[in-house]
């Protein structure tokens, strides 16, 4: 499975964060990246907790021939088209118009200094990733640790929460 996280907490030219996330799915298709399936949308508080607006998040399974580095570059180009500035990447946990994270690329493992790092180095600590991912793939296991998604969710800290929208 090739999985990405989709998130936003600022308005873009496409509208509110939910509309932005929906438009991002279309932008993926336009870039030649097929969305095979996606989770429902979730809302989550910013991590770490701050005065930022809450996020809209989801996970999508992709079907693409792009290798990981080319896929990540395509995701960054889409983010830029949606108004994400490179300067925002320099500020960890900054508010953003769109965030597209490559979560995993099949079972590939790549540690720093490789780019991209696979699987995403913080995905196993984020309810806004694990809950939508469990919806798509309830039997999924972390490629690095082998941990089952239900165990990763059970190990989340209490302040890491996400709830379905709708």
Which residues constitute the domain of residue 94?
Answer: 2-164
Residue 51 has pLDDT above 80, yes or no: yes
Average pLDDT over residues 68-88: 87
Is residue 109 within 8 A of residue 91, CB to CB? The reply is no
Confidence of residue 94 (pLDDT cuts 50, 70, 90): confident
Stated as kind and residue range, the H or E segment containing 134 is helix 127-136
Q: What is the pLDDT of residue 158?
A: 87
What's the domain count of the chain?
Answer: 1
Among 27, 106, 108, smallest CA distance to 61 is for 106
- CATH number of the domain residue 17 falls in: 3.30.70.560
Stated as kind and residue range, the H or E segment containing 154 is helix 149-154
Q: What is the pLDDT of residue 87?
A: 43
- pLDDT tens column, 96-105: 899 999 999 9
Is residue 121 within 8 A of residue 103, CB to CB? The reply is no
Compute the mean pLDDT over every residue in the chain, rounded to the nearest whole number.
92
């Amino acid at each position: 499975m090739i999985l990405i996280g989709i998130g936003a907490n600022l308005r873009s030219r496409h509208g509110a964060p939910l509309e932005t996330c929906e438009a991002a799915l279309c932008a993926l298709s336009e870039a030649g990246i097929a969305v095979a399936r996606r989770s429902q949308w979730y809302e989550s508080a910013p991590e770490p907790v701050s005065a930022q607006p809450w996020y809209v998040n989801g996970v999508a399974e992709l079907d693409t021939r792009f290798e990981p580095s080319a896929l990540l570059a395509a995701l960054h180009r889409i983010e830029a088209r949606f108004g994400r500035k490179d300067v925002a990447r320099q500020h960890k946990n900054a508010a953003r118009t769109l965030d597209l994270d490559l979560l995993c690329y099949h079972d590939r493992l790549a540690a720093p200094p490789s780019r991209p790092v696979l699987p995403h180095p913080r995905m196993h600590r984020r309810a806004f990733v694990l809950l939508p991912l469990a919806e798509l793939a309830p039997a999924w296991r972390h490629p690095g640790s082998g941990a089952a998604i239900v165990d990763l969710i059970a190990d989340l800290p209490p302040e890491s929460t996400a709830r379905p929208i709708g």
